[in-house]
Amino acid sequence: MKTTKIVSITLLCSSLLLAQTQKQHDEEIKSIVKDGQIATKTLLQTLQKNMKQHIKQGGITDALSFCSNEAYALTDKVNANLKKGISAKRISAKYRNPANAPLDDEMKVLDSIQTLKSEKKKVPPYILKQIDEHTYKLYTPLVINKPVCLKCHGDIAANPALQKEISSRYPDDKAVDYKMGDLRGAVVVTIKR
């Protein structure tokens, strides 16, 4: 009888401990996702705001100059203002700037998102991957959902002056021939705890 009580108490304590540990893990994941979503939103809003401003001021060519000359400095500025251990970047399988080329693990995630789109399955709003004990990557898919995006990333052969300007800045450009709804890439937020 005494042994049964001890075993029961031990099992109850173990169950409570496991439940508490799982709850702490769930809260940590929620916090990581929230931090990643804030970083993604901050980066996208900053870049979109500036892009709109440049399109309004000088048209598509001015927007191209902004992307070429200022987008990375703005990304660095956003990263400098994020919480310690958090950084954001954009990646694409069809990148314009080689700095946006995905790493091997990132390419696998882009491929899996593209597979979902190709199979007409729902693409999740984000994908969270644990890299190691203290590092996570939150991927937010970027889909072409505004016609203005196609001015530089669609069929640019229709605008020879723009095509020439893009090829002079980006001789190995791959970021063209998109259509509405296509996967453009992802924002990847690395979170180190």
Nearest C-alpha neighbor of 32 from the set 136, 127, 131: 136
Percent of the chain's residues with pLDDT above 70: 89
The rounded distance, in Å, linking the Cα atoms of 139 and 43 is: 13
pLDDT at 14 over 80: no
The tokens for 85 are 């251990």
Q: Beta strand pairing status for 127-132 and 86-91?
A: unpaired
110 contacts 91 by C-beta, under 8 angstroms: yes
At residue 24, the pLDDT reads: 82
CA distance 74 to 164: 25
pLDDT of 17 strictly over 80: no
CA distance 158 to 162: 9
Say if residue 13's pLDDT is above 60. Answer: no
Distances in whole angstroms, Cα of residue 134 to Cα of each of 28, 32, 99, 103, 129: 11, 11, 25, 19, 11
Q: What is the pLDDT of residues 41-63, one digit of tens each?
A: 999 999 999 999 999 999 998 99
Domain ranges of the chain: 2-42+85-192
pTM: 0.87
Q: How far apart are CA 11 and CA 19, in angstroms?
A: 12
For residue 4, pLDDT over 80 is answered with no
What pLDDT was estimated at residue 82? Answer: 97
Mean per-residue pLDDT over the chain, rounded: 91
For residue 140, report the phi and psi dihedrals to the nearest 5 degrees: -115, 115
Q: To the nearest 10°, the Cα dihedral for 164, 168, 171, 174?
A: -50
Mean pLDDT calculated for residue range 4-29:
67
Chain segment 127-165, per-residue pLDDT in tens: 999 999 999 999 999 999 999 999 999 999 989 999 999
pLDDT at 70 (0 to 100): 93
pLDDT of the residue at 154: 94
